């Protein structure tokens, strides 16, 4: 029997539409920009806005249809990109009770941010660049969420990573923005190893990257199909991958710095969507996590620890964006802990409500600051704040220690930098220095002349 063609079924068309709309927007604004003829600001926002609106409407209709079908998963087979021997990269989209709500709120928020950014970034030199990255982000988010295989999920995950890093470094003329972007990218890249390795383990264990070979049944009541040791390995790798994107300890250092990017991108990526990508992956593979209690408890410990850490550190932040970043980190930690505890619908609702609230707060933050300054001017002084705090219930010595820890951001960055980053960089620089000395010796003189000559480009 030949498999049904994707375009024969209206539901499949709707699912494909959710993915294709941002891709079309990306191509429509990206190609003219690459050819040196970027679209006007108005056209750019209209194209991107229409794409997200289309995707949002398609997701809403899909959600209604899925509900009518009792949340039964609808799988769309788009075929195989390539296959060698037993290794095949298939493209399969899944619309179910997890993916479609995620697409609804992510495309809705992207459309909202598109409308906001059109005004916020008016006449910015990087206007087109921002919207290209927004469309790339939307493409990655929808691909990751709708993915029916680990390969497609990984592709979407990578789109998120690169677009996030480039948006953090959007104001690339600022040193801090570049440093923050590199910090985020390095964290992502290291943690992506987890997802990449999980993908390989899944391929080796099941002979395919399809989730259907990894677990059976409808979310959130799927059953794991792989043995316990494989489930444990995959779960640990997925948890490792999720820690980076969700800004969890010990990989949380990039998150507060990510606010170097423009406000609209901060809202959508680090407050709402990007930070919940890890939670999505763990929710998608919940049955595998269920089969690996050790990984689940590890997740609870890390999530709980991060929530506590971020709550303490966030309480001493002096700028609004940093406070919001730590607040996001706290909620992300709680969400991961909920997933580790075996809850399914609760974290999904938590993700959606937190994303909407946090987006609103971050988008509102510049005008909130403005309002507060106006209020202070009108009152002739600082409006003041509540003196009540939970910390005041603690003994003075404890609260002082906590304050010190909070100011130092829990020493998390210091420890990671001192124990991992600095020794590694010192080792690499030493190796590079040895290489240079050795080649200088071989050359019988200096090889450093390279920076002085041949900008003219002599041919071979």
Partner 1 sequence: MVVETVSLAAVAVCTAAPLVGAVTLRLTERRIDPRLVASAAVGISLVASLVAAACWHLGSGRPTTFGPGLTGGSVVLVDGLTAILLPYVAVVDMAIVLVAPRRAFASPGVRRLLAGAAITFATLSTSHPVALTILWGVSILATWTTIRSTAGGRTTARVYGLAMAAALACMISGTTLLVADPPWLTGSGTTGATGGWLVAIAVMIRKGLVPFHSWYHTLFSGASLATALVVTMPQVATYTAVRLLVGHADGVPDELLVLSNAALMTAAYGAALAVVQRDARGLVGMLAMSQSAMVLAGLAGTVPTELCGALAVWVSSGLALTGIGLVVWALESRGGAISIETLQGRFADAPALAAFFLLFGLATLGFPGTLSFVADDLIISGSLDDHLHAGLFVIAATVFAGIAVMRGWFHVFGGRVTVDAPRHALLPRERVAFTALVIILFGLGLWPGPFVRSLEKVATSLLASRHHHAAAPLPESHP
> How far is CA 111 from its chain centroid?
18
- Which of 48, 73, 89, 94 is in the footprint of partner 1 by CB under 8 A? 89
As a whole number of angstroms, the distance between CA 326 and CA 256 comes to 7
Contact 103, 22 (CB under 8 A): no
**33 is an interface residue for partner 1 by CB under 8 A:** yes
Q: Which of residues 167-196 bind partner 1 (CB under 8 A)?
A: 169, 172-173, 175, 177-178, 181-182, 185-186, 189-190, 192-193, 196
The alpha-helical segments, DSSP class H, found in 121-171 are: 127-146, 150-168
Give the x-and-dash track for 49-88 against partner 1 (CB under 8 A).
-------------------------------xxxxxx-x-
Pick the closer one to partner 1 by CB: 42 or 453: 453
As a whole number of angstroms, the distance between CA 30 and CA 134 comes to 11
- Partners of 95 in the β-ladder: 74
- Which of 67, 301, 368, 428 is in the footprint of partner 1 by CB under 8 A? 428
- Partners of 82 in the β-ladder: 89
- Which of 58, 100, 110, 203 is in the footprint of partner 1 by CB under 8 A? 203
**159 is an interface residue for partner 1 by CB under 8 A:** yes
As a whole number of angstroms, the distance between CA 374 and CA 380 comes to 10
As a whole number of angstroms, the distance between CA 447 and CA 439 comes to 7
Q: Which of residues 97-156 bind partner 1 (CB under 8 A)?
A: 125, 151, 154-156
Q: Which of residues 218-237 bind partner 1 (CB under 8 A)?
A: none
**458 is an interface residue for partner 1 by CB under 8 A:** yes
Q: Are strands 74-84 and 215-216 parallel, antiparallel or unpaired?
A: unpaired
Q: CB 77: neighbour CB atoms within 10 A?
A: 16
Minimum distance of partner 1 from residue 289's CB (angstroms): 23
Pick the closer one to partner 1 by CB: 144 or 352: 144
**200 is an interface residue for partner 1 by CB under 8 A:** yes
Q: Which stretch binds partner 1 (CB under 8 A): 29-37, 67-75, 259-267, 410-418?
A: 29-37
**453 is an interface residue for partner 1 by CB under 8 A:** yes
| DSSP 8-state assignment for residue 275 | G
How big is the chain, counted in residues?
460
**8 is an interface residue for partner 1 by CB under 8 A:** no
Q: Phi first, then psi: give them for residue 128, nearest 5 degrees.
A: -60, -40
Helix (H) or strand (E) holding 349: helix 345-379
- Residue in 85, 201, 111 with CA at minimum distance from that of residue 154: 201
Minimum distance of partner 1 from residue 437's CB (angstroms): 10
- Which of 112, 165, 205, 323 is in the footprint of partner 1 by CB under 8 A? 165
Minimum distance of partner 1 from residue 425's CB (angstroms): 7
Q: Are strands 87-95 and 74-84 parallel, antiparallel or unpaired?
A: antiparallel
Residue with tokens 């916020």: 120
- Contact residues for partner 1 (CB under 8 A)? 33-36, 80-85, 87, 89, 125, 151, 154-156, 158-159, 162, 165-166, 169, 172-173, 175, 177-178, 181-182, 185-186, 189-190, 192-193, 196-197, 200, 203-204, 425, 428-429, 431-432, 435, 438-439, 442-447, 449-460
């Amino acid at each position: 029997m030949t498999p049904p063609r994707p375009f024969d079924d209206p539901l499949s068309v709707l699912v494909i539409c959710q993915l294709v709309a941002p891709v079309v927007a990306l191509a429509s604004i990206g190609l003219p920009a690459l050819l040196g003829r970027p679209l006007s600001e108005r056209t750019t926002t209209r194209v991107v806005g229409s794409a997200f609106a289309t995707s949002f409407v398609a997701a809403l209709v899909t959600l209604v249809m899925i509900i009518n079908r009792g949340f039964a998963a609808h799988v769309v087979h788009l075929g195989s990109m390539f296959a060698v021997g037993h290794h095949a990269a298939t493209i399969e989209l899944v619309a179910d009770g997890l993916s479609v709500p995620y697409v609804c709120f992510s495309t809705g928020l992207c459309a909202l941010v598109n409308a906001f950014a059109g005004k916020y970034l008016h006449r910015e030199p990087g206007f087109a660049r921002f919207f290209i990255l927004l469309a790339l982000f939307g493409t990655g988010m929808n691909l990751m969420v709708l993915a029916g295989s680990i390969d497609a999920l990984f592709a979407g995950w990578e789109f998120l990573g690169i677009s996030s890093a480039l948006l953090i470094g959007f104001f690339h003329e600022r040193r801090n923005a570049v440093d923050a972007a590199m910090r985020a990218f390095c964290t992502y890249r290291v943690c992506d190893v987890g997802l990449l390795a999980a993908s390989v383990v899944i391929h080796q264990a099941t002979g395919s990257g399809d989730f259907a070979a990894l677990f059976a049944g409808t979310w959130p009541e799927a059953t794991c199909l792989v043995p316990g040791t494989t489930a444990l390995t995959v779960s640990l790798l997925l948890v490792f991958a999720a820690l980076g994107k969700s800004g969890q300890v010990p990989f949380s250092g990039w998150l507060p710095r990510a606010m170097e990017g423009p406000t609209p991108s901060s809202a959508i990526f680090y407050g709402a969507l990007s930070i919940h990508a890890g939670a999505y992956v763990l929710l998608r593979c919940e049955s595998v996590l269920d089969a690996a209690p050790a990984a689940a408890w590890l997740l609870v410990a890390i999530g709980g620890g991060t929530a506590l850490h971020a709550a303490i550190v966030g309480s001493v932040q002096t700028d609004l964006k940093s406070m919001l970043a730590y607040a996001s980190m706290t909620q992300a930690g709680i969400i991961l802990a909920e997933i580790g505890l075996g809850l399914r619908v609760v974290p999904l609702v938590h993700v959606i409500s937190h994303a909407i609230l946090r987006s609103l707060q971050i988008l509102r933050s510049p005008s909130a600051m403005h309002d507060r300054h106006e209020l202070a001017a009108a009152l002739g002084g600082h409006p003041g704040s509540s003196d009540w705090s939970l910390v005041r219930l603690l003994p003075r010595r404890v609260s002082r220690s906590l304050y010190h820890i909070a100011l130092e951001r829990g020493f998390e960055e210091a420890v990671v930098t001192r124990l991992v980053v600095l020794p590694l960089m010192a080792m690499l620089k030493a190796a590079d220095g040895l290489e240079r000395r050795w080649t200088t010796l071989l050359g019988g003189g200096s090889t450093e002349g390279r920076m002085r000559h041949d900008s003219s480009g002599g041919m071979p």
